[in-house]
Amino acid sequence: MNDLLFIHIENPWHDILHALFHALKDTLIAIPFLFIAYLLMEFIEHKASSKMESSLKKYSRLGPFIGAPLGCIPQCGFSATASNLYTAGMITEGTLLAVFLATSDEAIPILLSSPDMHSSIWKFILCKLIIAIFAGVAIDFSYKLIKIKKTPIEMCEDCGCEEESGIFKPAIKHTAKIALFILIVNLILEAVLIFVPSETLNNILLSGSYSQPFITALLGLIPNCAISVAITELYVAGSLSFGSAIAGLCSGAGVGLAVLFKTNKCLKENIRITVILYLISALFGFFLMLAGI
C-alpha cells in the first residue's frame, strides 16, 4: 500500500518527505508536456497560417482515436497538455475527455510490479481505450448535432505575451506559471493524504457494495497521481472490484482537471466536463461490476 495512505506516528518526517517527493515528481513530469503544448499554441497563434488552423479543425473528428492511446501512456502529462490545447480551441471536448478517461498515471507500473496482476494489465488498457474512444466520439457527435461549440480563449490576453518577440519566451513563461500551480495543488493534496489511514479509505469505499464504482469515480476526480496509486493498490489487495478500479482510474485524469480549471475561464464548461467525466466513469464501472468482469 502506498506509504501516503498510512499515518506514521513514530516518524512523521518520513511522510512529509514522501509528500514533497511525489509532489515534485508529478510536477517535473508534467513540465515537458506543458512546454510542448504552449510552444505549439504560440507557434499557431503567432507564426502559423490559417491553413494550419483549418487543418486542425478538419481532422478534429479523429482526435479521440489519437488522444485515447496517448492518455494510456503511464503518466499524467498528456492530460495537462490536452487541457491547454482544449482551452485554446485546438482539440474538441470529445478529444479532451478521451485523454482524461484513458489517462493511467501510475496504474500500469503498479500492476507490472505485482506478478499476480500481469494478466489484468491488458484488461485495464483495453477497457480504458474502448471507453475513452467511444465516449469521445459520442460527445463530439452529440455536440455537433446540438451545435455546442467551444469558444477559444486567448492564452496571452492578460500576461502581455503578445508583445514578446519569438515563441519560446512566452511558452516558458506560461509553463512556469502552470507548473507552480500544479506544484501547489500537489503539495496540498499530498499533505491531506498523509492523514488518511487505509482503514478509513476502505470504509469510505464500501467494499463489496454496488455503490463502490460511484464512490471510487468521485475519489478519482481528485487531481493528484497519488489517487491512482491508491486505487490500483486497493484493487491489487482485493478491496476493489475490477469495475470499481476502472471507474476510479477513468475519472482520475491526474493534474488535467486542475490545469483545465486554471486555464479555461469558462466555469460552465469546466463543470460540464467534470460531470460528464464522472458519470461516464461511474456508469461504465458499475456495468462492468454488474457483468462480473
Give residue limits of the domains in the chain: 3-290
List of residues 6+ apart from 40 with CB closer than 8 A: 85, 90
| Cα 291 to Cα 209, 210, 211, 281, distances in angstroms | 14, 12, 15, 15
pLDDT at 4: 44
What DSSP letter does each residue of the chain carry, written as one string?
--GGGS--TT-HHHHHHHHHHHHHHHHHHHHHHHHHHHHHHHHHHHTS-HHHHHHHHHTGGGHHHHHHHHHHSSSSHHHHHHHHHHHTTSS-HHHHHHHHHH--TTHHHHHHT-GGGHHHHHHHHHHHHHHHHHHHHHHHHHHHHTT-------TTTTT-GGGSSSSHHHHHHHHHHHHHHHHHHHHHHHHHHHT--HHHHHHHHTTT-TTHHHHHHHHHTSS-HHHHHHHHHHHHTTSS-HHHHHHHHHH--TTHHHHHHHH---HHHHHHHHHHHHHHHHHHHHHHHHTT-
pLDDT at 96: 92
| Cα 256 to Cα 65, 141, 153, distances in angstroms | 19, 23, 17
Tens of pLDDT along the chain (293 residues)? 444 444 444 455 666 677 677 778 777 877 787 777 667 766 666 555 455 555 555 666 788 898 888 877 766 667 888 888 888 888 889 999 999 998 876 677 777 766 777 777 888 889 999 999 999 999 999 988 887 776 666 655 555 555 555 677 777 887 787 777 767 766 776 776 666 655 665 666 656 677 889 988 998 898 777 677 778 877 877 778 889 999 999 998 877 888 899 888 889 999 999 999 999 999 999 999 888 77
Quick one: how far is CA 256 from the chain centroid? Answer: 4
Quote the pTM value: 0.73
Q: How far apart are CA 118 and CA 123, in angstroms?
A: 10
